Amino acid sequence: MVKFINTSESLKKLVKDIYFGLSRQYKLKPNIIVEFFEDKKKFEGKIKRRLDALEAGVAYKNRLFLFVPEKLSTYTLWTKQNTRKIYLHEMAHAFNFQLNKEICPIWLEEGIASYLSSMYNERCLQLLFDKLIDFNDLFFKEDWNKQKTIIAYYQSASFVKYLARRYSTETVMSLKKKSTKDKAKFEQEFSKIFKRNLHSHISDWKAYLKNAKFKEINTKWLRDIVKNEKSQ
Ligand SMILES: [Zn+2]
């Protein structure tokens, strides 16, 4: 069930649609509360921290805080056209929470949300191959927050995609179920589920990334990000 704090019928319909899609994939029916904001100050007051431009919504446990579509381009890097993906991304976090309350490793948490919502660009990663972040630095929240670049999200999504395509989305979700703050224990679970260790799968994923043919980037803001990152 989805409960809404304040919104229009058309937004409710969109969110419910996303909910039912995820509900089928996860085979879960969590209770989720969705609240919409038209004003950034009110949004930040609610979550008690500042938002950065990459953040178009926030998921906290089973609660979602979202900008209305019309305000996305005012306050974030995203636009109205990205609404469905953004809401799907945030809602996936709420479903993940139902699967397992532990959010570590963050690369898995964000990777699943970004993969399911198709919020990644692998050509961007290919161009920034030298800038890929060590997955060890994407495990804990504190480390992730230090990175918090688009590369962190995209590479997490791309790696989750690689796992989901080789095995299945269900298999990735079974790993999510075993998520734990204990890195060694997590890696053990990973090896059990994916037959080889994390390190060896990361090498395979990198080889795929390096050699695949991807479409060229067609958005200016992303081309600019690639240019900026390259020059750093
Ligand atoms: Zn996220």
Q: Per-residue pLDDT tens for 27-49?
A: 999 999 999 999 999 999 999 99
pLDDT reading at 9 higher than 70: yes
Kindly state the tokens that stand for 72: 């996305």
Widest pairwise Cα distance in the chain: 48
Return the domain boundaries, the chain: 1-99, 104-232
Q: What is the mean pLDDT of residues 204-210?
A: 97
Place 134 in a pLDDT band, splitting at 50, 70 and 90: very high
Report the DSSP pairing between strands 57-60 and 63-67.
antiparallel
Give the integer Cα–Cα distance in Å for 115 and 96. 13
Q: Per-residue pLDDT tens for 53-70?
A: 888 999 999 999 999 999
pLDDT the model gives residue 196: 96
Place 148 in a pLDDT band, splitting at 50, 70 and 90: low
Domain 1-99 belongs to what topology?
Answer: Chitobiase; domain 2 (3.30.379)
**CB-based contact 162:180 (threshold 8 Å):** no
Q: How many angstroms does the Cα of residue 142 sit away from the middle of ligand 1?
A: 15
Kindly state the tokens that stand for 39: 């004003």
Kindly state the tokens that stand for 84: 């469905």
Place 4 in a pLDDT band, splitting at 50, 70 and 90: confident
Q: How many angstroms does the Cα of residue 73 sit away from the middle of ligand 1?
A: 18
Q: How many angstroms does the Cα of residue 153 sit away from the middle of ligand 1?
A: 8
**CB-based contact 162:115 (threshold 8 Å):** no
Question: CB within 8 A of 92, min separation 6: which ones?
Answer: 22, 112, 113, 116, 117
